[in-house]
Chains A and B, each alone.
Chain A
Amino acid sequence: DGGITQSPKYLFRKEGQNVTLSCEQNLNHDAMYWYRQDPGQGLRLIYYSQIVNDFQKGDIAEGYSVSREKKESFPLTVTSAQKNPTAFYLCASQNPGFGEKLFFGSGTQLSVL
């Protein structure tokens, strides 16, 4: 079945450590997104990519980095510069075109030790 796979489901970060969240899709979508979800704040856009080897900052990109070397993969690295990383992270993908819906993965819960 086609879909988006995020791993791991739970991740713990030590202070000063970088961690990478995985996102893989087999929907053949060009666009991919990373959102951060905090209680009561909805979803906020971290980074997005509309095509391979290209990505753009979203509203809260500081302390995060991404790469898009393959169409299927869009990993997110939470760097040590992100001082408040505890949140639920959602990856999504989308067909090209205005008004297309997003397909979401099941998310990664990141916590700080």
Chain B
Amino acid sequence: AQKVTQAQTEISVVEKEDVTLDCVYETRDTTYYLFWYKQPPSGELVFLIRRNSFDEQNEISGRYSWNFQKSTSSFNFTITASQVVDSAVYFCALSDLTGFQKLVFGTGTRLLVSP
């Protein structure tokens, strides 16, 4: 069965600190996709990144970076030099062949960045 675990319920940091959000997943499929979404206070989920199971290259986009490790079934998200605008709930999600197109979400991590 598919499962996504985000063990960190809430993280508080001060602006300019680096922060890593953890995501651990479970799937029996060898082909799958992983996603990160951001949910700001407005409520709408915003897509951040998608990674397929055959691409273990880490990715960097500005202050955001993602570390995908199949050996530990993890897809962690790091924000460098955090800013107040990064305050949001962040969700990790999994889509595998067993679930067809459906995304299974973790419980989310609330990030609070203080000035």
Residue contact B52 to A99, C-beta cutoff 8 Å: yes
Closest chain A residue to B49 by CB distance? Answer: A101
| CB neighbours of A42 from chain B (8 A) | 6, 91, 105-108
Size bracket of the A interface: 20 to 34
Residue contact B101 to A43, C-beta cutoff 8 Å: no
Partner of B102, one of A41, A48, A106: A48
| CB neighbours of B105 from chain A (8 A) | 35, 42-43
Q: Does B64 have its Cβ within 8 Å of any Cβ on chain A?
A: no
Count of chain A to chain B residue pairs whose CB atoms are closer than 8 Å in the complex: 53
Residue contact B42 to A106, C-beta cutoff 8 Å: yes
Q: Mark B81-115, 1 if CB is under 8 A from A, else 0.
A: 00000000001000101001111011110000000
Q: Mark A45-59, 1 if CB is under 8 A from B, else 0.
A: 100101000000010
| CB neighbours of A90 from chain B (8 A) | 43, 45
Q: Does A66 have its Cβ within 8 Å of any Cβ on chain B?
A: no
| CB neighbours of B16 from chain A (8 A) | none
Give bound CA distance, A99 to B47, whole Å: 13
| CB neighbours of B31 from chain A (8 A) | 98
Query: Which residues of A, 36-83, contact B by the 8 Å Cβ criterion?
Result: 40-43, 45, 48, 50, 58
| CB neighbours of B103 from chain A (8 A) | 102
Closest chain B residue to A101 by CB distance? Answer: B47
Residue contact A98 to B95, C-beta cutoff 8 Å: yes
Q: How far is the CB of B48 from chain A (nearest CB, A)?
A: 10
Give bound CA distance, A79 to B106, whole Å: 27
| CB neighbours of B35 from chain A (8 A) | 101
Partner of A107, one of B6, B37, B43, B47: B43
| CB neighbours of A102 from chain B (8 A) | 45, 47, 103
Residue contact B50 to A99, C-beta cutoff 8 Å: yes
Query: Which residues of B, 3-40, contact A by the 8 Å Cβ criterion?
Result: 6, 9, 31, 33, 35, 37
| CB neighbours of A58 from chain B (8 A) | 102
| CB neighbours of B100 from chain A (8 A) | 98
Q: Mark A91-113, 1 if CB is under 8 A from B, else 0.
A: 01010111111111111000000
